[in-house]
Amino acid sequence: MHRTPSRNASFLQHLAAIDLGTRPEPKELACTPDPQAFYDSFYSFAVSLLDEFYPERTITVTSRDPGYTTAEIKAKLRRKNRLMRVGRVEEAAALARQIGRDITRRSRRQLEKIDKSNTKELWKAVKQLTGREHEPAVDPSITADNLNRHYASVSTDASYEQPPMKHTAAEHSGWTHIVTDYDAFKMLDTLRHTATGLDCLPSWFLRLAEPALSGPIADLINMTLMTSTVPSQWKQARIRPVRKTPTPRQAADYGPISITPVLTLLTERTVVQRTPFIRHCSHRRQVCGAIILPSSLSFTQLSTCCHLNPT
């Protein structure tokens, strides 16, 4: 997805001319007969905008690239080289400065996770960032299927029994389910950069489109809370394997990092902020995950859930 100021301007101009039509009242959302159709309609609208103005591009990042390399940085490097070849030196120089800032930001974010008292780990991280030391190659026997089977086995409780549902629940005084358009706007406006889930809506796109999407996203969150339903788009997560040992030899040497959709995180944050019990709970993320997305506490084996690039 190639983002430029001119493309962003065209996108915002298009949003200003969009007529979203008549939206349902918040209390009407609780009476919606088919919530999933409502969710599908929102995602169809949002993803179509993303595909129209920011079509996907394929950039390959391998273990041979320096640790600070991302798909976005690599795409900018290729564009800088093309500008240099056609003699557009000033544009290439401006892009080079932007790439330098991106690399600095990426390197700083990686170094912040290192224990400052561990000199060995610090020097190892510096060597990886400077390209003088590469991560070890992935064992070819460790495949996505092996990781899926391993995560499915360690995350599944064969003796699990679903607890009975309560017939009634005490409602907290002053509690309100309603998330206003302004509430959604504030959440999107303060949204930080994070990984994109399988719903294909990146955080930067949601933040850029907040003038038009804050209302529909408020309806989406209200629908979820009022009907006690979860969009099917939120029930799958991308699992990223992270090395737990310097030289992984088996699937157990990789820890699973679950990347959920950005809108799932916003909904969890809403529940945490509006539920005093969860807000003051030391394990609020686990409790909130069990309320909003019970499937996030288990692993369902999917062939597309995990990808490895051993090159």
Residue 7 located in a structural domain:
no
Total domains in the chain come to 2
Quick one: pLDDT at residue 132? 61
- Mark which of 134, 166, 195 sits at the end of a domain: 134
**Is residue 179 domain-shared with residue 264, that is, in the same domain?**
yes
CA distance 171 to 187: 25
* Rounded alpha-carbon distances, angstroms, from residue 191 to 259, 263, 266, 284: 16, 10, 9, 20
For residue 2, what are the β-bridge partners?
A: none
**Is residue 74 domain-shared with residue 198, that is, in the same domain?**
no
Q: Does the pLDDT of residue 295 top 70, yes or no?
A: no
More confident residue, 66 or 287: 66
CA distance 230 to 223: 9
Tokens of 47: 């993803």
**Is residue 113 domain-shared with residue 219, that is, in the same domain?**
no
What lies within 8 Å, CB to CB, of 213 at 6+ separation is 46, 188, 206
Residue 17 located in a structural domain:
no
**Is residue 215 domain-shared with residue 263, that is, in the same domain?**
yes
Domain range holding 242? 22-56+136-157+175-311
Residue 140 located in a structural domain:
yes
**Is residue 212 domain-shared with residue 248, that is, in the same domain?**
yes
- Mark which of 79, 102, 134 sits at the end of a domain: 134
Quick one: pLDDT at residue 281? 55
**Is residue 232 domain-shared with residue 302, that is, in the same domain?**
yes
Residue 260 located in a structural domain:
yes
What lies within 8 Å, CB to CB, of 51 at 6+ separation is none
**Is residue 33 domain-shared with residue 77, that is, in the same domain?**
no
Q: Does the pLDDT of residue 213 top 80, yes or no?
A: yes
CA distance 296 to 260: 9
